[in-house]
Structure 1
Amino acid sequence: MRPGMLAADGTVRDLSDHVEDITGATLDDAALAKLAALDVAALPVVEGDLDLAPCVGGVGKFLCIGLNYSDHAEEAGMPIPEHPILFMKATSAIVGPNDDVVLPRGSVAGDWEVELGVVIGKTAKYVSEEDALDYVAGYCVVNDVSERDFQIKLTGQWTKGKSCDTFGPIGPWLVSRDEVADPQNLSLSCDVNGQRMQSGTTGKMIFSVAEIIAHLSQLMTLHPGDVIATGTPPGVGMGIKPDPIYLKPGDVMELEIEGLGRQRQTVRADD
């Protein structure tokens, strides 16, 4: 596995002579500035088919915000939350953007959720909303894959239905914050088997990226490399009326966020 950079000509360039991996240790402003200053044209082109790993490695915390789109809360029949709803997703769920999503044994209600991912670039504690975006290294696409029966019916935390192996595809790219003019003005979508299921805009977030970071930093220290999934727009399988639609082996999910790239996962059952 080698770190890479997407060049303007669409090729991927090898960064392994300059950085060992893209992790929290290489995401502060100074480290990113060094990468930005490289002569991209002089970097070796990565040839052949690419098997993309998660766009950030060594994730310490995978934090997720629930019911953070006003139209999704309406779809779910839930009241608008007064504060960000927080749950955790196990870091062992993290996979690459095009890896298979594996439904665990006993799964009957697998679901999709396209989300804007936020990757923290420097240690954040008691951060103000005004300064919060300065602590962002970059943004990425996240599929917050869910097993709704595990999530709702197994008694306990949502984490049960969110943390199954492969339930956290991240990437394809970690797009540095300077390339995203406004994280609250991005379109996002999810297709399942070629049918558009989710279509929305981050402008519908109840709590903005800045509000989320500021809120979480009052509760815990956010470290470089931590990932925050910021919620999903309407169109999840659970919300389809009158009969929900859930994932089955052979289904294909394709997720995209404006300027951040596209994911594609095939669903299969665990052995």
Structure 2
Amino acid sequence: MMRARVAYAGAIHEATPIVTEHGPRVRLADGRVRDERDVVWLAPFEAGTIFALGLNYAEHAKELQFTQQEEPLVFLKGPGSVIGHRGVTRRPDDVTFMHYECELAVVIGRTAQHVKRESAMQYVAGYTIANDYAIRDYLENYYRPNLRVKNRDGGTVLGPWFVDAADIADVNALELRTYVNGERKQRGNTRDFVTGIAELIEYLSSFMTLAPGDVILTGTPEGVVNVNAGDEVICEIDGLGRLINTIASDAEFGRASTTE
């Protein structure tokens, strides 16, 4: 089942996708049908702790001339970084290289402690798409991505749909694609993970407790390019839909880059 969370007419609603003679629409839980542009899209679930994987595709690591380490490269993100489908992400005026990262997001469904990889997938509630922006100018190094790179307000786009784990036949064979202004820039497949989902859950739960709503962003494939104010970025993952996001300048946000 695919479901979303949207704001409409002063309330938050669960929504599901439908196709009408006028094209794709959303059906609110009370039965009303609305165009997807008539609602404000939220993240499709209340996100808990966000675990972000760096360089979890071998070709992307090679693209950045990074030598893969023995343990996964993981860092945490705050909930203030999250926005929903059709949201707007700010590009500070003082940066030279800001890029998207199309990622499969894994949502934990029940408390996990010391989980073995053989049973790890039983702890997965479902999946959504993430576009996790990074600003390369602010990067200290790949072992220590600082707060300004990855914990920016509105820098992590989630959605549009939460899809139950049971509805994805093979999560290890999903194609990812990213388009910038309609031109495909990125393509990859989850079969190319350096560290798979079950192994990630085993690793993380070996030293900390995972809770329902926690999210694991599983990394991005090769093909990241700089994006600028006004660009539309669309991330697609097989079976999960299309996540649309727009880049805006400091001026459009009514703030100057000097307020960083």
CA contact (8 A) 1:192 1:253 kept: yes
Runs ≥4 residues deviating over 4 A: 7-11
Are residue 146 (structure 1) and residue 126 (structure 2) matched? no
Q: Which residue of 1 aligns with 2:43?
A: 54
1:1-40, aligned counterparts within 5 Å?
1=7, 2-7=12-17, 9=19, 11-15=25-29
State the SS of the aligned residue for 2:40. coil
- Among residues 224, 227, 232, which one is paired with 1:247 in the alignment? 227
CA contact (8 A) 1:87 1:159 kept: no
Distance 1:193 1:7 in 2: 24
For structure 2, the 5+ residue unaligned runs are 1-6, 256-260
Are residue 261 (structure 1) and residue 236 (structure 2) matched? no
The Cα shift of 1:207 comes to 0.7
The Cα shift of 1:11 comes to 4.5
Q: Which residue of 2 aligns with 1:126?
A: 114
CA contact (8 A) 1:151 1:162 kept: no
CA contact (8 A) 1:128 1:214 kept: yes
State the SS of the aligned residue for 2:116. coil
The aligned amino acid for 2:51 is L
- Among residues 152, 173, 177, which one is paired with 1:164 in the alignment? 152
Identity of aligned residues (%): 36
Deviation per residue, 1:50-94 (Å, 9 max, x gap): 32111112x221110111001111111112332211011221110
Number of equivalences:
234
CA contact (8 A) 1:110 1:146 kept: yes
The Cα shift of 1:7 comes to 4.6
CA contact (8 A) 2:18 2:26 kept: no
Name whichever structure is richer in strand by fraction.
Answer: 2
Q: Which residue of 1 aligns with 2:258?
A: none
The Cα shift of 1:264 comes to 1.3
Distance 2:249 2:203 in 1: 37
- Among residues 94, 100, 103, which one is paired with 2:82 in the alignment? 94
1:107-256, aligned counterparts within 5 Å?
107-152=95-140, 157-237=145-225, 246-256=226-236
Distance 2:179 2:18 in 1: 26
State the SS of the aligned residue for 1:101. strand
Query: CA separation of 1:262/1:113 partners in 2, compared to 1, >3 Å: closer, same or farther?
Result: same
For structure 1, the 5+ residue unaligned runs are 16-42, 238-245
TM-score, with structure 1 as normaliser:
0.81
CA contact (8 A) 1:189 1:257 kept: yes
The Cα shift of 1:8 comes to 5.7
Deviation per residue, 1:17-70 (Å, 9 max, x gap): xxxxxxxxxxxxxxxxxxxxxxxxxx613324232111112x221110111001
The Cα shift of 1:252 comes to 1.3
RMSD across aligned positions (CA): 1.8
Query: CA separation of 1:7/1:196 partners in 2, compared to 1, >3 Å: closer, same or farther?
Result: closer
Q: Which residue of 2 aligns with 1:45?
A: 32
Deviation per residue, 1:96-144 (Å, 9 max, x gap): 1210111135333211110000111111111110111111111000001
Distance 1:108 1:143 in 2: 19
